[in-house]
Amino acid sequence: MHNSNELIKNKFIKEASLLVKKIFEYTHPEDEITLEVAEDALQFQMFDYLEIPFLPKEIEAFTFIDLFAGVGGFRLALQNIGGKCIYSSEWDIDAKKTYRINFGEIPFGDITKQETKNFIPQKFDILCAGFPCQAFSIAGYQKGFSDTRGTLFFDVERIIEKHRPKAVFLENVKNLISHDKGKTFKVME
């Protein structure tokens, strides 16, 4: 969990404990892991941080947030040049497990929910977002903003408008620029 504040902890402890339980079951298949063990591990920060492969640099050159974080591709790149991730969000359970193993943190959940957006820090230098590409990809149905996944861009847009970062990195597919004869990209500009 990113914050030990009681109000925040109480709101997310169950989801975080379930995720830690699944991670421990994966990393320690020979042990029986209960929800209580997982919650205790969260409470007392009983993680072996020496085994985390991608720790941030000691000197922080800038801060960033990692939306639609996946397994942490943007984070790895920005950490390697001195960035400090101060918030991450990902809803996929398997990606969250991998993110935890890679970086020692469990991302917040669904960024479309206001309760998740409420924990985004007010100030940060860079916003990174790898929002879903299936709605625009030539390999998909190309429904664009008619596909729910395509509208996730607008959640990113609202966060940008509210927080006004110095830079924004968005990852998507080649077809995004030409999708719907360029109309989709025009909307995003």
Looking at the domain 51-188, which fold is it? Answer: Rossmann fold (3.40.50)
Element (H, E) at 127: strand 126-129
Q: What is the pLDDT of residue 136?
A: 47
pLDDT tens column, 103-137: 888 898 888 888 888 889 999 999 998 765 554 44
The model's confidence at residue 41, banded by pLDDT at 50, 70 and 90, is: low
**CB proximity list for 5: less than 8 A, separation 6 or greater:** none
The model's confidence at residue 138, banded by pLDDT at 50, 70 and 90, is: very low
Positive or negative torsion for Cα 2, 168, 99, 112: positive
Share of the chain above pLDDT 70, in %: 67
Q: What is the pLDDT of residue 137?
A: 46
User: What residues are paired with 66 via a beta bridge?
Assistant: 88, 128
**CB proximity list for 171: less than 8 A, separation 6 or greater:** 73, 74, 128, 129, 130, 131
Share of the chain above pLDDT 90, in %: 21
Contact 76, 62 (CB under 8 A): no
Sequence ranges of the domains in the chain: 1-47, 51-188
Q: Looking at the annotation, which residues are catalytic?
A: 133
